[in-house]
Every structure is written in structure tokens, then in C-alpha cells.
Amino acid sequence: MKTYTKSEFRKVLETKLMNKRTATLEESTDNDIFYAICSILKDEINQAGVDTRHHNIEAKRRQINYLSMEFLIGRLIESNLLNAGLLDVCNEVLTELGRDPKKIYSEENDAGLGNGGLGRLAACFLDSIASLGYMGNGFGIRYRYGLFEQRIVNGTQIELPDNWLQEVYPWETRRIEEAVPVNFGGQVTSEVLEDGNLKFTYSNQETVLAVPYDVGVVGYDNDNVNQLRLWSAELPHDTIDHGDNKNRLEHMQSVERISGFLYPDDSTEEGRFLRLKQQYFLVSSTIQTLINQFKERYQLPVTDFHKYHCIQINDTHPTFGIPELMRILMDEEGLGWDDAWHITTHTFAYTNHTIMQEALEKWPVYQVQNVNPRIFMIINEINERFCKSVYEAHPEMRDKIGDLAVISNNVVHMSKLAIVGSFSVNGVAALHSEIIKDYTFNDFYKLTPEKFNNKTNGITHRRWLMTSNPELSNLISDTIGNNWVKHPQELTQLMHYYNDDAFLDRLAEVKLHNKKALKEVIYNKTGIEVDEHSVFDVQVKRLHEYKRQLLNLLRIIYLYNEIKRKPSIKIQPITFIFGAKAAPGYHIAKEVIKLIHAVANVVNNDTDVDNRIKVVFLENYNVTLAEDIMPAAEISEQISTASMEASGTGNMKMMMNGAITLGTMDGANVEIAELVGKENIFIFGLSSEEVINYQLNGGYRAEDIYKTDSRVKNAMDALINEQFGRNYAFNDLYYHVLTNNDPYFLLKDFNSYVDIHLTAMATYQDKRKWNQMSLTNIMKSGQFSSDRTIQQYATDIWKLN
């Protein structure tokens, strides 16, 4: 991509402002400048994108296609500037012009086309695929409304629509000429042809036009530009509507609803028909396009498709891609079942992201039939052939066929379909991948052990260190040079500074500076004044019972009551920072948000506490806010019930920014602990084995702990004794835990949590030691760059060159 000197950049900025915004530099607003910069960048991205495509087609490169219902990309301006090599020059020019770059970049709307970890992972992966120079495109949905905007009113979450497309989205290009029809519903009939084959004919289907919007994905310093293609649903122009305009308008609206909004739930199956339509819409449009492009560009028989394409499905949401590819290969390309099945099962690879039963997708047969009857026929056939093959080839498994079946009790099990139709099944952290093999999908593992593998998640260090924490990033480069930028594992070079006091002091200074910046953000958003010398203890993630924000609160309540008992007690000042969206229909999660606010209200204003503990809830946690929080975190709360958090990625982001993990042996925490050693992490609580054993044996007796342990009882009773709210405000939480026998083991883990917290606070008193721990975490974090993850996918699963 072109490089610019400062004067050249200023010049092109002026020209863009004049041409696109009819404004001079002097009179232009931040918004004008933002769009002008985007336009400069987009010229570069478009050119490089075309070159990349031509090169790839000419070289007939093998390609990975990442299908995901979610891409939580956040803002792109800084990461695009960085990757295009223009961030420094742009920052300098803006500063010289007396403009604040941060303010200008904040003109961009945060694209929240995802719920949480799974969606953000997809965004980090695209960044790494492009940066490693691979040919790989993302496919998702251009939701008109992304994840809801969270407002807190009197301590209660309310949801506002996320109108991210209100202004022109500068990074996308609409490609109407590449729109494809997607067919829903209708009937299928079959006739026997002369050669004995069946021919299927569809009738009365509803056709929706899938219109692609392409967003360039810029690789770091390598001129490689891939695409994220987001599909939007439209009424085909030639649809004939009988009746009046009002009918037509209604019809149009019902079609557009398909890409209308993201379902704001990443933890439970959203049992609605529309969600199912969204899934089929994504896979049908994408796979039709892949087949069309393959035939047109590579001029090869469709039977070679899998040699040039791999499709990774991000959880089960795009699993209908499997029967859809079968449909196209058989009904449109004329292949027989066996050939189509060979191609399909050599194309698809499935990543599982959760073992939570309620999140394993299951769809009633009649709903799948309604979305597309032909797709259901194919799933049915896949199931019958699969069950038959187990019966014949694995007599020892015959009594398991009922459990293995893709369709049972009139329900389609999406994970089973995904496993049967894929050549690879991976979990997202070592522990999680073992649990999948040993428990969740054990029968499938016995049948096809070779399919199962692990790919521990990662995060792009370009966003989560370089652009969000430039001070730390510069300190690192000043110290060890900048090799680590392209080879993040080289962060380990920092170990030579482990005993270097001057370096440790600079590290601490950077942290303090980032804490001051977050203090500003907190003040501006909440009016709460926090002490930058207190420990910043952070739990930011979606609100879910298994993530145990409630355990964090019970611990805060415990500390508060200790102070009330003895106000002169000596304690390390702490700021507890929360950020979390609750799914709108998730009552208990919303109650926890209320409780955070109630506790904050009491604790922050109690003169006995005297500002030694502060509780802060930052509303509307999203990618942009995370970029402010991660650099300032000192304690990273990763306290899920062991076995339940598949991986976590916030743990990696905070580690990379020098926070110390305080957590359970769950998800990727296990690997963090292995890397940094147990002296550099605070681990507590039940192990995953213990949790699973309890679960298999009907749980433990929560009542008993509650009755016999006074620390537990006092903390729990605070929920019902009006300490934090009148009129039994938190009865629901209290009874929810106790009457359900505490399925997330809050009470069981409470004491070890309180104790490890006290250990952490004692450790904090030794500043030098703490800085060394922080350094150890930073220097080992290269392992969690998504570049490492993608390298493993590319080598082991995708076989990319």
C-alpha cells in the first residue's frame, strides 16, 4: 500500500475534504475529517483488495471461508490505519493540525454484529488470516441493528436499538451485481428420471434476494486484503405482489426482517423461526456464491471444490451449510449422493464453543421443514445413512444409535449434524477440547477420534495491544525492538528485564497512566470518582450465571461487612469494575445488574468505607469500551464455574496488558496458569473434574454450606435483609441460588475465592514483585495472539499454503 509523508498525507486529506465534504481543513468538523480519512484508506484498501483477488485467482490458491452469524468488529479506523502503515503519519498530521486523533476516530460507530466472545473471536481471526497472508474471507449477516445499546435507569438495564447504520458505514461496498436468490418454504416434488435418478422440483417458494456488502480486511504490513462479506435481505425487484402498495410495503418489511437484527443472546437457544431463517439465509447465499465463483474463476469441475475450499463453521449456527452444499451439488450440479457427500465432508470443519446444554442448538423438525423442505429431506437422509453405517460398521455402538442420531424426538440436533458432516471438530481451549471428547460428544469421539482436535483461542495483539495500549506497545519496542510485532511469541525477550528496576518502574508508570485515563472515562460516564492508586479489579464480559458475577458481588459484600464490623481495619483500596450486558429475557442476569448497582450505591457512599472500596458499573460494554478498560486492568476476574467457560478471551486481553488473572482452572485460564506458573496467577475453587463429578452425582448440598458456614450465610443473607434494597429487592437471587441447589457452585467456591482475594491484595503490597508478575504475564501472552491460533488452523485443518 502507498506510504505517505506528512505533507503528502495532509495534502490528500485536504483534497478529500474538499471533494467529499466540501470543506476546507479549517472549517471541517471531526466528522468530516473522519470520513475523509476513511476515504483515503478505502482507496488504498480497494486497490490492494483487487490486486489480492487477482493474485489469488491466478495462483488458484486454496481458500478458507469463515462462516459466522456474528462478527463483533467494533471500530475499524485505527486497526485499518495501523495495518495499512498509516497510523503514525495520520496521528502526527492530525496532532499538528491541532486535532485530537482519538476524538476523530471516535466518530466511527462501533459495529456490534455479535454478542460476545464468539463474535469477537471471528473478528480477531479475520485480522490474523489477512495478516498472515492467507486467502480467507468471512461471511456473515449485515444486521440492520446490532447488539442492543445498554442503558441503566435506576440500576435497571434497558435496551435500546443499536442504530449503527444511521450514518453511512464508510468501510462497506454494496455489490448488487453479486446478489443471489435464497429460497424459503414451499413444496418439493420428485420424479424418477430415465437413468433411475431422482429429480427434485421446488414450487411455491418464497425468494429473498441476498445482497452482499463487502468490507475489506486489511493484513498488517503485507498488502493482503481479504473480504468480510455481509449479507442483507431484500425483496427481489421482480416480485409480483397482488394488491396495493401497502401490501408490497408489508411484504418488503417482512423480507428485510431476515437481516433486521442480531439475536441478543449467546447462551440460550433462541427458539424462534426468524433465527432459523437467518441461519439458512447466511449459508445459502454464501455457498451459492462460493460454487459460482469456483466454477467461474478456476474453470475446474465442481468435484474439485473441496480441494480449493474449506468452510469453517463458527459454532453450529451455520450448520445448514452442510445440507445446502449437498443440495446444490445434487440438485443443481447433478452429482449423486456419494460424490456430493465426499465433497461436503471434505469441505466442512466445525468449531464447538460451548458445552452448556441450553446453548447446544436443537430445532423442531417442523420448523426446519418450514424454512426449507428440501434441506430437511437431505438432513433426514444424512441421518438415516449415518445411523445405518453405525449399525453396520460398529455393532458395539448399536445401543447408542438413539443418542447419536441427528434427528430424534422430532428435533434436529445441530451439533450432531455438524460433527457427522465435518472432517474436523475442534474445541477452543485444551481443557474444553478434552471435555468434548470425554463427555459432551464422547460417543462421536469413539466413532471418529481422528476428527477431534483442539485450537486454543487467541486475540489479535494488533488491536488489543498495539492500538489500544500504545504506551505499553512503545515501551516494549523501545526495550526489545519491534520483532514481536510480527512474531508476538518474541515478547518473551522481555524476560531479560525481569530484574531491571528502571524497566519495571516504567511498566508501572504506563499502567498508572492507563488507569488515569480509565478514571476519566469512569468519571465521565458515571460521575464516580475513583482513586487511580487503588487496585483496578475488573470483570467485564456478558452477564451469565456460569460466569458468576454474583460470586464477585458476594465477595464484595463480605469485604464491606468486614469494614462495617471494624471500620479501622487495614485494607488495600480497590476499585471493582464491572461491564456486562444481560440478554433482555434473562431475568436472573438482569437482577444481578440491579444488585451491582445497589451494592455500588451503598458501598460508594458509606463513610465507614471512606472510599477504600468503590464499585463501578460501566454501561454498554462493547469493543470500544473494552479498548479503554483492558490497558488499565490489574486484576482480571475469570471466575467461571470450572468446566463451563469453554475458553474465554477477555482473560487473554487483560493478560497481554499486564493484569494478573484471578480465576478458576477453567477454559484458557488453565493454559495461562501453565505458561506463567502458579506464582504469577491466583487460582481458586473446584476443579472441572470435581464439578463434573458433582454434576454426575446430583450436585452437592448447598443448604448445608449455607447453614453451617457463617461467612457464606452472612453474604447470602445480605440479599434478603434489606441491606441493599427494601421490599425484598433481591429475594429472587437468594431463592434462585438456594432452591436450585446452587448449580454454579457459588457457595462451594466462596471461601476459597475470598481467601485468594486476600492473598492477591497482600501480594500487591510488594510493588516490585507485582510488577514482575505483570511483566511475566505480558511476556508470555504472545502465545495467545490469534496469529498463533490461525497458524494452527491453517496448518492442521485448513491445509493452506
| Identity at 581, one-letter amino acid code | K
Q: How far is the CB of 319 from ligand CRA (least distance, A)?
A: 12
> 28 or 669: whose CB is closer to ligand CRA?
669
The secondary structure of residue 332, as a DSSP letter, is I
If binding is defined by CB under 6 A, does position 543 make contact with ligand CRA?
A: no
Q: How far is the CB of 130 from ligand CRA (least distance, A)?
A: 20
Per the DSSP assignment, residues forming a β-bridge with 744 are none
> 109 or 352: whose CB is closer to ligand CRA?
352
Catalytic, 594? Answer no
Point out the residue whose Cβ comes nearest to ligand CRA: 117
Q: Binders of ligand CRA: how many residues, by CB under 6 A? A: 17
HEC sequence for 214-263? EEEEECCCCCCEEEEEEEEEECCCCCCCCCCHHHHHHHHHHHHHHHCECC
Strands 535-540 and 452-454, by their bridges, are unpaired
Select which of 462, 653, 757, 780 is catalytic.
653
Which three cell numbers, joined as nine digits, stand for 682?
491466583
If binding is defined by CB under 6 A, does position 636 make contact with ligand CRA?
A: no
> 114 or 216: whose CB is closer to ligand CRA?
114
> 460 or 647: whose CB is closer to ligand CRA?
647
If binding is defined by CB under 6 A, does position 648 make contact with ligand CRA?
A: yes
> 101 or 667: whose CB is closer to ligand CRA?
667
If binding is defined by CB under 6 A, does position 646 make contact with ligand CRA?
A: yes
If binding is defined by CB under 6 A, does position 641 make contact with ligand CRA?
A: no
Q: How far is the CB of 122 from ligand CRA (least distance, A)?
A: 9
Please, what sign has the CA dihedral across residues 704, 707, 711, 717? positive
Q: What distances in angstroms separate CA 531 from CA 88, 431, 468, 522, one per listed residue?
A: 32, 38, 22, 11
464, 653 contact by CB (below 8 A): yes
Neighbours of 580 (CB within 10 A): 23
523, 529 contact by CB (below 8 A): yes
Burial class (CB in 10 A: 0-12, 13-18, 19+), 493: middle
Q: How far is the CB of 648 from ligand CRA (least distance, A)?
A: 5
If binding is defined by CB under 6 A, does position 456 make contact with ligand CRA?
A: no
Select which of 277, 416, 541, 788 is catalytic.
541
**Cα–Cα distance measured from residue 682 to residue 659, given in angstroms and rounded to the nearest whole number:** 11
Which three cell numbers, joined as nine digits, stand for 298?
478456476
Burial class (CB in 10 A: 0-12, 13-18, 19+), 446: middle
757, 771 contact by CB (below 8 A): no
If binding is defined by CB under 6 A, does position 315 make contact with ligand CRA?
A: yes
Q: How far is the CB of 360 from ligand CRA (least distance, A)?
A: 9
| Identity at 351, one-letter amino acid code | T
Catalytic, 542? Answer yes
> 291 or 311: whose CB is closer to ligand CRA?
311
Mark the segment that binds ligand CRA (CB under 6 A) among 207-215, 329-337, 647-655, 674-682. 647-655
611, 516 contact by CB (below 8 A): no
Mark the segment that binds ligand CRA (CB under 6 A) among 238-246, 604-612, 643-651, 686-694. 643-651
Q: How far is the CB of 269 from ligand CRA (least distance, A)?
A: 10
If binding is defined by CB under 6 A, does position 354 make contact with ligand CRA?
A: yes
Compute CA 132 distance to the chain's CA centroid, rounded to the nearest angstrom: 20
Select which of 286, 460, 649, 661 is catalytic.
649
If binding is defined by CB under 6 A, does position 667 make contact with ligand CRA?
A: yes
Angle at CA of residue 411, ends 410 and 415, nearest 5°: 150
Among 49, 74, 112, 116, binds ligand CRA (CB under 6 A): 116
Among 81, 90, 118, 662, binds ligand CRA (CB under 6 A): 118
Catalytic, 547? Answer yes
Q: How far apart, in Å, do the first and last CA atoms of the chain sit?
A: 23
> 611 or 791: whose CB is closer to ligand CRA?
791
If binding is defined by CB under 6 A, does position 645 make contact with ligand CRA?
A: yes
Among positions 191-230, residues that touch ligand CRA (CB under 6 A) are none
Among 415, 539, 649, 776, binds ligand CRA (CB under 6 A): 649
> 73 or 210: whose CB is closer to ligand CRA?
73
> 422 or 534: whose CB is closer to ligand CRA?
422
Select which of 62, 451, 511, 547 is catalytic.
547
One-character DSSP codes across 109-162:
--EEES-SHHHHHHHHHHHHHHHTT--EEEEEE--SB-SPEEEEETTEEEEE--
Q: How far is the CB of 266 from ligand CRA (least distance, A)?
A: 5
Select which of 353, 374, 590, 594 is catalytic.
353
If binding is defined by CB under 6 A, does position 457 make contact with ligand CRA?
A: yes
Q: How far is the CB of 70 from ligand CRA (least distance, A)?
A: 8
473, 656 contact by CB (below 8 A): no
If binding is defined by CB under 6 A, does position 458 make contact with ligand CRA?
A: no
**Cα–Cα distance measured from residue 139 to residue 141, given in angstroms and rounded to the nearest whole number:** 7
Burial pattern 755-771, b for ≥16 Cβ within 10 A else e, equals ebbeebbeebeeeeebb
Angle at CA of residue 626, ends 623 and 632, nearest 5°: 160
Mark the segment that binds ligand CRA (CB under 6 A) among 558-566, 590-598, 644-652, 690-698. 644-652
The secondary structure of residue 351, as a DSSP letter, is E
The secondary structure of residue 428, as a DSSP letter, is S
The site string for ligand CRA over 406-435 (x = CB under 6 A, - otherwise) reads: ----------------------x-------
Q: What distances in angstroms separate CA 452 from CA 121, 210, 335, 647, 649, one per listed residue?
A: 20, 34, 29, 17, 22
> 594 or 653: whose CB is closer to ligand CRA?
653
Among 266, 537, 637, 749, binds ligand CRA (CB under 6 A): 266
Catalytic, 416? Answer no
Mark the segment that binds ligand CRA (CB under 6 A) among 111-119, 184-192, 446-454, 727-735. 111-119
> 125 or 700: whose CB is closer to ligand CRA?
125
Catalytic, 55? Answer no
HEC sequence for 253-264? HHHHHHHCECCC
**Cα–Cα distance measured from residue 431 to residue 666, given in angstroms and rounded to the nearest whole number:** 7
Mark the segment that binds ligand CRA (CB under 6 A) among 145-153, 172-180, 233-241, 645-653. 645-653
Catalytic, 455? Answer no
If binding is defined by CB under 6 A, does position 117 make contact with ligand CRA?
A: yes
Residue 699, phi-psi category: left (phi > 0), alpha (psi -120 to 50), beta (remainder)? left
> 313 or 378: whose CB is closer to ligand CRA?
313
| Residues in contact with ligand CRA by the rule CB under 6 A | 116-118, 121, 266, 315, 353-354, 359, 428, 457, 645-649, 667
Catalytic residue numbers, as ranges = 353, 541-542, 547, 649, 653
